[in-house]
Amino acid sequence: MKAIFEKRDETNPYTLLLLHGTGGNERDLLPIADMIDKGASVLSVRGNVLENGMPRFFKRLREGVFDEEDLIFRTDELKNYLHEAAEEHGFDRDKVIAVGYSNGANIAGSLLYHYNNVLNGAVLLHPMVPRRGIELPDMSGTPVFIGAGKNDPICPPQETEELEASLMEAGAAVEVFWADQGHQLTREEIDNAASWYKKVTKGE
């Protein structure tokens, strides 16, 4: 996969896995990584799928309707890539926290929905429910931050609530922050994600 890896503060054990939204690339979320944890290493990946020239992490049939077969295949591909990248760059595979926006949040959610202990935590910015009708792995102790929009036309509030409930039922510790700027990221949302991150990684 095409990706950027940056080792930053040598004493910081965490790696942020950055996953952009549809039409984005591996540079998009670098400023957000700085706002969340300047010292963490960064592995920022570009989605392997192209939709009319726009990079994505998996195919969709139309807006909001995922191609499940491709989602499963791409989720497995990303999980394997994470193992390979950890070996290549020497980062701690058990200290990877995903930060995904929109389509990137959906593949991060899909990692959590399909594999046990695949992420140490996740910041899901405007995510949807990645799959329905499957049994989720045990997520006991996995902290998840969800940034949502009360008026997000792509991820309506009921879907955020459904995602929160299913993650919690699987044992994850979920915190939801609501903004009112539709599907857009807000400064307040990222500030809240940064506070959540400090709390879960440093106990602050």
**Where do contacts with ligand MLT occur on this chain (CB under 6 A)?**
21-22, 60, 63-64, 102-103, 106, 128, 154
**CB contact at 8 A, 109 and 163:** yes
Burial class (CB in 10 A: 0-12, 13-18, 19+), 49: middle
Residue 146 and residue 172: Cα distance in Å, rounded? 12
89 is catalytic: no
Looking at the Cβ atoms of 37 and 147, the one nearer to ligand MLT is 147
Whichever of 22 and 160 has its CB closer to ligand MLT, that residue is 22
> Shortest gap between Cβ of 151 and ligand MLT (angstroms)?
16
Cβ nearer to ligand MLT, comparing 35 with 154 = 154
The DSSP 8-state label assigned to residue 52 in this structure reads T
Query: CB neighbours (10 Å) of residue 41?
Result: 24
Helix (H/G/I), strand (E/B), else coil: 35: helix
Q: How far is the CB of 9 from ligand MLT (least distance, A)?
A: 32
Known catalytic residue: 44? Answer: no
Please tell me what DSSP assigns to residue 53.
Answer: T
| 195 catalytically annotated | no
Least CB distance from residue 104 to ligand MLT, whole Å? 8
Q: Which is nearer to ligand MLT, 22 or 75 (CB)?
A: 22
CB of 196: closest distance to ligand MLT in angstroms?
Answer: 22
The kind and range of the H/E element at 82 are helix 68-89
Which class for 136: exposed (0-12), middle (13-18), buried (19 or more C-beta within 10 A)?
middle
Residue nearest to ligand MLT (CB): 103
Active-site pick, 41, 102, 110, 166:
102
- Catalytic residue annotation: 102, 152, 183
